[in-house]
Amino acid sequence: GLGLTNRKAENFGEWYSEVVVNGEMIEYYDISGCYILRPWSMAIWEILQAFFDPEIKKMKIKNCYFPVFVSSTVLEKEKDHIEGFAPEVAWVTKSGKSDLEIPIAIRPTSETVMYPYYSKWIRGHRDLPLKLNQWCNVVRWEFSNPTPFIRSREFLWQEGHTAFATKEEADTEVLEILELYRRIYEEYLAVPVIKGKKSELEKFAGGLYTTSVEAFIPNTGRGIQGATSHCLGQNFAKMFEINYENEKGERAMVWQNSWAYSTRTIGVMVMVHGDDKGLVMPPKVSSVQVIVIPVPYKDADTQGILDACSATVDALLEVGIRAESDSRDNYSPGWKYSQWEMKGVPLRIEIGPKDLANKQVRAVRRDSGAKIDIANADLVEEIKKLLDNIQQNLFDVAKQKRDECIQVIHTWEEFIEALNQKKMILAPWCDEKEVEEDVKARTKGETGAAKTLCSPFDQPELPEGTVCFASGKPAKRWSYWGRSY
Ligand SMILES: O=C1CCCN[C@@H]1CCCn1cnc2cc(F)c(Cl)cc2c1=O
Ligand SMILES: [Mg+2]
């Protein structure tokens, strides 16, 4: 029968796997760590892309497509760049029965694929800024527990790679892109995130600094990096000789950024909003926003009810609301209610004989379960309001839950206590790499070590004399800490 066998609050991991499958987002694949994205989740990816792509086009960023294959000579050009990542690189070693001369890697990210051509294309200052993006898949043969959307061996993302004449231009773009990532989470997925800077230990080692939007999963008490926007400085320009003749005729290296969000966004949304009846879809990203269900009664005017359903759907489609009717005659209304609740459709409309007679419909909210009778004449306006209200309510509830998980601490004892209470910890920190390494070592356990999530741009007051919770040295900034995905 329908319904989940796992409860979100009891066994989160199993609940999550069941919800993404029963909600028809994911089908498990016979290769571990790989998943099939079914239409219900692919539609979310397309809706997010339909927001993000025009926004980067406004920023004069152009889409392109580079090959998925990287020769080992190119990939291993910079030992330090891939050192540490080497175990997760997937290689093509044969074609048919014969071995390849040079092994070919499948891109885990595209710096080494793209930057030799940036070097070729950027000659003079008129070639700058060069701003390219690609929508593609990447492969990382991870071994830690694979999780649909959150950690898979292949995933979809966009990767932006930009080059500028000045650091100022790069710094500005890093934050413009980060704001788009915040909007993806907060305005579309209804998930609150924190903007901040990664620590020296957690940043992209090949870059100058890393900014990110950080989400939090209350049920597991783990932070999760939602998306990332790096300033690479001139490190890759040096590595790949991406330089140009500036306006004074001098040789100068470019300043670069790279930034990405991936299908991980979908998993975060499921984890935050899902409940024990299944998915809960924010209206903005749901491919079906309103499902209309006929509730025939014995010999009552069944055709009249079906006509009212299709008229209701047409009226909603007319104003751009994504509505469908479920007039399958082999399922009962009750069965349909739980199926569409499992898929998380934000609003259900029921039309039975009484509704028909009263020229009204009955709307039921997926987030609160509230039932609302709406006169046909008010249908479009009321449904629009309800969808906006559901979108806002999902965000408000998620933000309130996330804020309840935030714990401000000042001492090591308070830190450990908060960590054991699955909190997102805000602590004064000396910002020294060795101290972060020490905290990781001291908190290592089966549920994973604590690490910095980010240092929020929005810094609380740091009174003179405040000391670091871990080292006792003078605190330099507030940082969020926690276990993470
Ligand atoms: O996060 C982004 C935004 C989009 C472009 N890339 C950067 C950095 C990616 C880091 N990273 C992440 N994972 C990697 C895995 C690998 F196997 C290898 Cl060889 C390299 C990397 C690697 O450099
Ligand atoms: Mg990784």
* CA-proximal residue: ligand 1, atom 22 (nearest): 109
Closest ligand, as measured to the CA of 108:
1
Split at pLDDT 50, 70, 90, the class of 308 is very high
> Distance, CA 109 to ligand 1 centroid (Å)?
5
pLDDT tens sequence across 26-54: 999 999 999 999 999 999 999 999 999 99
Split at pLDDT 50, 70, 90, the class of 80 is confident
Q: Which ligand 1 atom sits closest to the C-alpha of 82?
A: 19
Output the pLDDT for position 214.
Answer: 98
> Distance, CA 16 to ligand 1 centroid (Å)?
27
Q: Which ligand 1 atom sits closest to the C-alpha of 112?
A: 19
- Average pLDDT value for residue range 126-139: 98
Instruction: Say if residue 477's pLDDT is above 60.
Output: yes
State the average pLDDT for the chain: 97
pLDDT tens sequence across 297-307: 887 789 999 99
Instruction: Say if residue 107's pLDDT is above 60.
Output: yes
Ligand 1 test: best mutation among 68, 109, 159, most atoms within 8 Å of CB? 109
Output the pLDDT for position 300.
Answer: 78
| Paired tokens of 14 | 């199993």
> Distance, CA 84 to ligand 2 centroid (Å)?
10
Q: Which ligand 1 atom sits closest to the C-alpha of 89?
A: 17
Output the pLDDT for position 125.
Answer: 96
pTM: 0.98
**CA angle, 381 as apex, 380 and 382 as ends, to 5°?**
95
Ligand 1 test: best mutation among 76, 83, 85, most atoms within 8 Å of CB? 85
Split at pLDDT 50, 70, 90, the class of 426 is very high
Instruction: Say if residue 194's pLDDT is above 90.
Output: yes
> Distance, CA 254 to ligand 1 centroid (Å)?
20
* 288 φψ region: left (φ > 0), alpha (ψ -120 to 50), beta (else): beta
* CA-proximal residue: ligand 1, atom 6 (nearest): 109
Split at pLDDT 50, 70, 90, the class of 111 is very high
Give the pocket of ligand 1 (CB within 6 Å). Answer: 82, 85, 88-89, 108-109, 140, 159, 204, 228, 230, 258-260
Output the pLDDT for position 78.
Answer: 74
Split at pLDDT 50, 70, 90, the class of 81 is confident
> Distance, CA 213 to ligand 2 centroid (Å)?
16
* Residue 207 burial (CB count, 10 A): 19
Say if strands 98-106 and 91-95 run parallel, antiparallel, or are unpaired: antiparallel
Output the pLDDT for position 299.
Answer: 78
Instruction: Say if residue 1's pLDDT is above 60.
Output: no
ipTM of the modeled complex: 0.99
- Average pLDDT value for residue range 266-288: 99
> Distance, CA 108 to ligand 1 centroid (Å)?
6
- Average pLDDT value for residue range 190-209: 97
Q: Do 189 and 265 meet the contact criterion of CB atoms below 8 Å apart?
A: yes
> Distance, CA 141 to ligand 2 centroid (Å)?
9
